[in-house]
Amino acid sequence: MSNDDGRHDADHSHIDWRENGVKVIPGDALDPNTAQTPGMNRATAINHARAGAEKIWAGTVTIHANAKTGAHHHGDLESIIYVVKGKARMRWGDNLEFTAEAGPGDFIFVPPYVPHQEINASQNETLECVLVRSGQDPVVVNLDIEPVEKPEHVRWIDPIHK
């Protein structure tokens, strides 16, 4: 935001924008040295060490065909999943009683503390996603949940477009 005279509201003239500005992380230079789950491959793109990020973590996750996580939540972190390729199935709720699917181009939002399970809905294709979290600690709280057999299907429609 600028003042009437064109100056920025905060004086950032002392910052070396060349070193502390925009960072481009090439897709073939992601860091696989991050928390892993059997059947999934994660790679870090953006964190403090790689890009100087203070409040977010971003990376990729590939979920093997027919693979799924156990029930878990991510504490007070918010998560956004963008599906690049394949079909994601999410189950959530106290007994994983709700389910929805997302395909290429779809976004999934997981609020803090929501018990959930990520599933690759395909028996023979990998699921490729971009993942963004509101913090950098790899918080995963595993839950001992007895899932319901037939979860209720919930359509991916926001409250504005019913």
Q: For 76-132, how does the pLDDT look when each residue is reduced to its tens digit (9 = 90+)?
A: 999 999 999 999 999 999 999 999 999 999 999 999 999 999 999 999 999 999 999
Among residues 135, 120, 110, which one has the least CA distance to residue 54?
135
- Model confidence at 32, pLDDT cuts 50, 70, 90, reads confident
Instruction: State the pTM of this model.
Output: 0.81
Residues β-bridged to residue 61: 42, 129
Is the model more confident about 157 or about 103?
103
Written as six digits, the tokens of 124 are: 């023979």
Q: What is the pLDDT of residue 122?
A: 93
Identify the helix (H) or strand (E) that includes residue 121: none
Q: What is the pLDDT of residue 162?
A: 52
Q: What is the DSSP letter of 69?
A: P
With a CB cutoff of 8 Å and minimum separation 6, the contacts of 122 are 65, 66, 86, 87
The per-residue pLDDT for range 44-79, each reduced to its tens digit, is 999 998 888 999 999 999 999 989 888 999 999 999
The strands making up 88-92's β-sheet, listed across from edge to edge, are 141-142, 72-73, 116-120, 88-92, 98-102, 152-153
Predicted confidence (pLDDT) at residue 148 exceeds the cutoff of 90: no
Among residues 156, 134, 131, 144, which one has the least CA distance to residue 34?
131
